Amino acid sequence: MSHRTVLTARQRAALFDLPTDEALLLHHYTLADDDIAHIRSRRRAENQMGFALQLCAFRYPGRLLRPGEIIPEAVSRFIAAQLGLQADDLIPYAARENTRYEHLHALRKIYGYRMFTGKWAKTMRVWLEQNAEAAHSSEGLVRGFIEECRDRQIILPSLSTIERLCADALVAAERRVEARIHARLDHRMRATLNALLDEEVEGRISRFVWLRQFEVGKNSADINRLLDRLEFLQGIDLGPDILVDIPPHRIARLRRQGERYFTSGLRDITSDRRFAILAVCALEWKTALADTIVETHDRIVGTIWREATRLSEAKVAEAQADIDATLAGFETLGTMLLLAKGDDVAIAGAVDASCGWGGLEKLVTNASQLRATVKADALTYIEKGYHRFKLYARRMLKALELSC
C-alpha cells in the first residue's frame, strides 16, 4: 500500500525524533533506581548504554531505535552521566545484531512493552475508528494516536504506517458522516435537494449557486434579495436534527466544500457525499443568511441614523444667524433694562427704545423656536427614514425567528 503523507518534515521530527531539549531529557530520560539496577545487570559498558538508550526510546518518543540511527550527543551524554559511563561507550553497542534483539525482548518482559502487532494493532485501529470523527486535523489524530500508544505501552510502528492508518481512518470517518446525514434524509428531502442542482434562476445559474451568492448589503433592495434566499431555504424545511451528533468541524468542512463546488462537480460525486453537502449547505446558509439580514438591517439603521444626525446638525447651522440675531436683541434689551433699573417709567421706555413690545414678542417667539431646533437630536428626524423600513421590515420580522 502506498505511503500517505499527512505530516510535514517538522511535524514528523517533533513527534518521532529523540529529544535533545534539557527539559524533555529530564522529564523522559531520568532513570529510576530500579531502571539503573536492570541496566547494570548487563555486563559491558556498551551494553549498559545500549540497554538504557532503548528503554528511554520506548518511553519517549515510544519507538524502536532504527539500525544505524545516529544518536544525538545530548542524549548519550545525559544517559551516560546517570550511569557513571562515557558517552563514547555507546559506539561499540550492538556489534552483534542479536544483542539489540535480546535487549528488546528483555525490556518487553521487564517493563511490559508490546509490539504493534496482532490484538494490539487491532486495539489501536479501533481507537482510530472511535476518535477520527472528532479529530480536527491529520496532525491532531497522529499526535493522539502516538500518545495513546505511549499510555498503553505499545511500541510505535513506523511513521509511514502511522500516517497511513490515520489517513485511512480520517477518510473512513468522513464517509461515515456523509452516510449518516444521507440516511436521515427522506425521499422528499432528497428530491428537493437534488432540484437545487437542476433548477436555474433567470436562466443563468443553478438554484444552488444562486443560494450561496449572498453578502452583507446596504439598502432595502439588498435585504429583499437576501430575504428571497432565506425564504426559499425555509421552504425546504430541513430540520436541524439531521446534523445531530455531527462534529462542528465536519459540518464546517462540508459547507466549505459546497461553497467551492460547481453544480456539475456536485452531480458527479457519490450520492452520500452530494446529499451531505447539500443538506449541510441548506441548513448552514439559512443560519448565515439570517445573520447577514440582521447585519444588513443594522447597516440601514446606521445609515438612517447618520443622515438624521447630519440633518439635525444642518438645521442648527441654518438657524445660526437667527440665533445670533435673537441673542443680540435680548442683549440690547437687557442692557437698556439694567440702565433703567429702579425707575418704572424708564423701564417702559427702555423696552420701547430697544425693540418695542412687538419686537420683544417676536424675540420670545424666535427664541422658543430656536430652542426647539437646538434641542432636537437625531431621534427627532429618524422618522424620515421610515419609508426604507417599510420596504422590508414586515417581511423580515416574519422570516426571522426572534426571541428575547
Does residue 274 share a domain with residue 193? yes
Residues 125 and 92 in one domain: no
Quickly state the pLDDT bin for 385 (edges 50, 70, 90): confident
pLDDT, tens digit (0-9, with 9 covering 90-100), for 66-75: 888 899 999 9
Give the pLDDT confidence of 259-279 residue by residue, as tens digits: 999 999 999 999 999 999 999
**95 and 162 part of one domain:** no
Confidence of residue 16 (pLDDT cuts 50, 70, 90): very high
Q: 332, 333, 320, 326: which is closest to 373 by C-alpha?
A: 320
Distance CA 40, CA 116 (A): 28
pLDDT at residue 4, as a whole number: 64
Are residues 282 and 197 part of one domain?
A: yes
Is 25 part of any domain? no
How confident is the model over 281-291, as a mean pLDDT?
96
Alpha-carbon gap, residue 152 to 146, rounded angstroms: 10
Is residue 10 in some structural domain? no
In terms of domains, do 127 and 196 share one?
no
Q: Please give the residue range of the domain that contains residue 247.
A: 187-294
116 pLDDT more than 80 = yes
Domain boundary among 178, 202, 217: 178
Residue with cell 477518510: 171
pLDDT tens-digit series, residues 168-210: 999 999 999 999 999 999 999 999 999 999 999 988 899 999 9
The residue with greater pLDDT, 370 or 260, is: 260
Residue 347: the pLDDT is 66
Neighbouring CB atoms inside 10 A of 1's CB total: 7
**Helices (H), ranges, 319-401:** 320-339, 344-354, 356-375, 378-381, 386-390, 393-399
- The pLDDT score that the predictor gives to residue 1 is 44
Residue 254 lies in a domain: yes
Domain boundary (111, 129, 151) is at: 111
Q: How confident is the model at residue 377 (pLDDT cuts 50, 70, 90)?
A: low
Is residue 283 included in any domain, yes or no? yes
Give the integer Cα–Cα distance in Å for 153 and 116.
10
Residues 6+ away with beta carbon under 8 Å from 314? none
Last residue of a domain, one of 294, 326, 354: 294
By the 8 A CB rule, do 36 and 56 touch? Answer: no
**Number of separate domains in the chain:** 4
First to last CA, the chain: 57
Residue 403 lies in a domain: no
CB 398 within 8 A of CB 224: no
- Examine residue 131 and state whether it is found in any structural domain, yes or no: yes
Residues 106 and 125 in one domain: no
Are 131 and 104 in the same domain? Answer: no
Greatest pairwise CA separation for the chain in angstroms: 133
* Beta carbons of 150 and 245 less than 8 angstroms apart: no
Q: In terms of domains, do 218 and 261 share one?
A: yes
Does residue 199 sit in the same domain as residue 266? yes
Together in a domain, 134 and 101: no
Please tell me whether the overall predicted TM-score, pTM, comes out greater than 0.85 for this model: no
Average of per-residue pLDDT across 358-386: 72
The verdict on 63 and 159 lying in the same domain is no
pLDDT at 169: 96
Amino acid at the residue 147: E
Angstrom distance (rounded) from CA 194 to CA 182: 12
CA torsion 318-323-328-329 (nearest 10°) is 110
User: In this structure, is residue 15 part of a structural domain?
Assistant: no
Residues 286, 198 share a domain: yes
Does residue 213 form part of some domain? yes
* pLDDT range class, residue 98, cuts 50, 70, 90: confident
